[in-house]
Each structure stands twice: as C-alpha cells, then as structure tokens.
C-alpha cells in the first residue's frame, strides 16, 4: 500500500423523501470514504480500523474489498457498528451519531500495526479522535510514523458529538502539530476558531508544525497556506450538485494521490513544491470532489474520470482564450 488511513467506518443513513423517518443506508465515515476515493483514484490503499461482526460490519468489509482497499490490517469485534443519520439542508448536512462502545471506537491494537515500507502517506482525523481507546491508539500510531511518512490530518469537526468545544480545540492544536498536511473545510475553521479570519487559524497550524494547510470552501474552491509564501487559491469546477456528502473526503484523497504523482514520498519534499505544482495538486483534488458531488451519497470518481474532466476543462479554457 502507498496510502494508509485510520479511523471510523460506519453506516450513513440519509433522509429520503419517502417519509419523515425514512432513511437510506450508505457505507460511510470520513476515513472510509477517503480510503475508497484513494483506491478508485489508482493508489494502493489500506485501511486500519476495527469492524463489527454484525450485519453492518459485514457490509462495510465487503464494500472496502470490492473497492480494492487492503483490509488486512482491519480487526473484528462483537461490538456494534457505528451508525450516523444525516439530514440534508440547503446549506449543509446535519448529523446524529450513535458511537458509544462501537467497534471502531474501541480499536486498540497491541502492538501497534507496522506499516509496510512502501506506504508513504498516513491519514488520520474525524470522529475517531473523540473516543478512547481508539483516539489514544490512533495518536500513538501517528506518533510512531511521524517523520517517516507524510501525515495528513482532516479534523472533520462534528459539533453534535463534542461536549466540550474548548477542550476539543486544545486537543486539535496538538493534532495540528502531528501533521505535515492539514486539510480543513471553512466550516471546520469557523468551529475551531470562531470570529477569527481563516488566515489566523492557518498560521496557528503552521506554527504548530504543519508544512501546508489547505482550507476548502465548497463551490468557492480552496486555499493553501505555507510558511514563507503568499496564500494560493484554486477555483472549484462548476457542476450540477446532487449531493455534497463525501466531497471533502474525496478532496483529501485527491491531495495525496496527486502529491504521490508529483513524487512526494517524504514530509520534507512538500517544501520543494512550486506554486504551479500546488495548483495542479489542488486542481486535481477539486475536480475529484466536484465529480463526487454529481452523484448521490459518497461516490468518488475513478482516476480516468478525473483525467477526462481535467482534459475537457483544459480544452474549454484554450477555446475561450482563443476567442476574439
């Protein structure tokens, strides 16, 4: 595997129009979505978590395997699967999570798994960091791999699960310091640093030790911050949005896949990327995320689909530039 991810795997029940309590189930969880996206985008990908032996856990295991994700590091448990219920609103999505004592929340491998030498990226974050023992063991895994692989952190803040936001913000600062690349949404930024400009939060991430910070703004694109450089922004492709679930996860996957294609295999190599390199990396990620939004649920595109969309956009741009 070239990319490893650790964290929750769950079933998302999304509200349907069939009734006030009618929900449709989809395999989900931010790390799982990102793992599937990485695999569909052509990079050998592995997932580290614990799945239940219940009917939902079996569904999650089969889904990962059908999408080509390496499941050899996954532990099994008789604890229940995590469940999430999602209500769509015009602006965003509202979530209700059922996580207490679940299989992924009680992930506590002993000893820690040893990632293969060819693994160059390790992702962590999301609601898996809100419950022990999984939160502690994930932090241990990241610490054990710090400096050896590019560490990617996506907090994916879910306020409905956070009982003490002030304490959570303190913990997030520690996780910023463990990451080489931090990816946030503008909603994450507003929750982590209310009333502050995004630039200030990005500066705090860099001060904590991150080499690059990227904040996504949905249809308004994304912006990159690095030490010693001006902020760098890219636009988001214009698409007909069907569903935004999984868009941020697909963007995060696109970053790692594109960075690998640029030869990035060690944390220090991030500093050598040019503005044009980063524009290409973020453009790839934004295109992958946009394509995900054209379908219902988290449904990341293939590498071929992203390349086709990028080629079409380039042709369109060239045609527009040549008009008198």
- Between 14 and 165, residue with greater pLDDT: 165
- Residue 129's nearest CA partner among 179, 190, 194 is 179
Q: How far apart are CA 192 and CA 194, in angstroms?
A: 6
Cβ atoms 46, 119 nearer than 8 A? yes
Total residue count of the chain as it appears in this document: 324
- Residue 203's nearest CA partner among 195, 212, 194 is 212
User: pLDDT value at position 323?
Assistant: 65
pLDDT above 80 (res 315) = no
| Total of domains in the chain | 1
Q: Which of 83-92, 251-260, 270-279 has the lowest mean pLDDT?
A: 83-92
Domain encompassing residue 305: 3-319
Query: Is 228 within a domain?
Result: yes
Query: Is 277 within a domain?
Result: yes
Degrees, nearest 5: CA angle 92-93-97:
150
User: pLDDT value at position 94?
Assistant: 76
Query: Is 112 within a domain?
Result: yes
Please compute the mean of the pLDDT values over residues 85-99 and round it to a whole number: 76
Using one digit for the tens of pLDDT, what is the confidence trace for 120-136? Answer: 999 999 999 999 999 99
Using one digit for the tens of pLDDT, what is the confidence trace for 9-54? Answer: 999 888 887 777 788 888 999 999 999 999 999 999 999 999 999 9
User: pLDDT value at position 78?
Assistant: 97
Residue 185 phi, psi dihedral angles, 5° rounding = -95, 165
pLDDT band at 263 (very low <50, low <70, confident <90, very high): very high
User: pLDDT value at position 96?
Assistant: 83
CATH code of the domain in which 301 resides:
3.40.1190.20
For residues 81, 154, 219, 274, the Cα torsion angle rounded to the nearest 10 degrees is -150
User: pLDDT value at position 324?
Assistant: 66
Pairing of strands 3-6, 75-77: unpaired
Please compute the mean of the pLDDT values over residues 91-115 and round it to a whole number: 90
Burial class (CB in 10 A: 0-12, 13-18, 19+), 301: buried
Query: Is 40 within a domain?
Result: yes
SS3 146: strand
Cβ atoms 272, 281 nearer than 8 A? no
Cβ atoms 60, 84 nearer than 8 A? no
Residues 6+ away with beta carbon under 8 Å from 45: 1, 2, 3, 4, 5, 35, 38, 39, 68, 69, 70
Query: Is 324 within a domain?
Result: no
User: pLDDT value at position 244?
Assistant: 87
């Amino acid at each position: 595997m070239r990319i490893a991810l650790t964290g929750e795997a769950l079933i998302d029940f999304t509200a349907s129009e069939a009734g006030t309590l009618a929900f449709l189930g989809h395999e989900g969880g931010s790390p799982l979505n990102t793992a599937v996206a990485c695999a569909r985008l052509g990079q050998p990908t592995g997932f580290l978590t614990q799945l239940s032996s219940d009917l939902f856990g079996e569904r999650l295991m089969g889904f990962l395997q059908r999408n080509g994700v390496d499941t050899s590091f996954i532990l099994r448990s008789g604890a229940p699967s995590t469940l999430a219920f999602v209500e769509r609103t015009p602006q965003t999505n509202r979530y209700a999570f059922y996580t207490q004592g679940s299989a992924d929340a009680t992930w506590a491998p002993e000893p820690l798994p040893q990632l293969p030498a060819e693994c160059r990226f390790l992702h962590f974050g999301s609601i898996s960091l809100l419950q022990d023992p999984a939160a502690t063991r994930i932090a241990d895994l990241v610490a054990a791999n710090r400096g050896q692989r590019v560490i990617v952190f996506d907090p994916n803040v879910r306020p409905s699960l956070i009982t003490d936001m002030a304490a959570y913000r303190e913990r997030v600062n520690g996780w910023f310091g463990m990451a080489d690349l931090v990816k946030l949404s503008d909603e994450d930024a507003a929750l982590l640093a209310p009333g502050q400009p995004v630039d200030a939060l990005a500066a705090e991430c860099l001060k904590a030790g991150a080499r690059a910070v990227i904040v996504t703004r949905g249809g308004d694109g994304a912006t990159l911050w690095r030490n010693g450089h001006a902020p760098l922004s890219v636009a988001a492709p214009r698409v007909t949005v069907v569903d935004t679930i999984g868009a941020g996860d697909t963007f995060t996957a696109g970053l790692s896949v594109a960075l690998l294609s640029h030869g990035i295999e060690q944390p220090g190599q991030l500093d050598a990327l040019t503005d044009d390199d980063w524009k290409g990396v973020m453009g790839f990620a934004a295109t992958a995320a946009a394509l995900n939004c054209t379908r219902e649920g988290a449904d990341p595109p293939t590498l071929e689909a992203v390349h086709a969309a990028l080629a079409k956009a380039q042709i369109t741009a060239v045609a527009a530039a040549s008009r008198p």
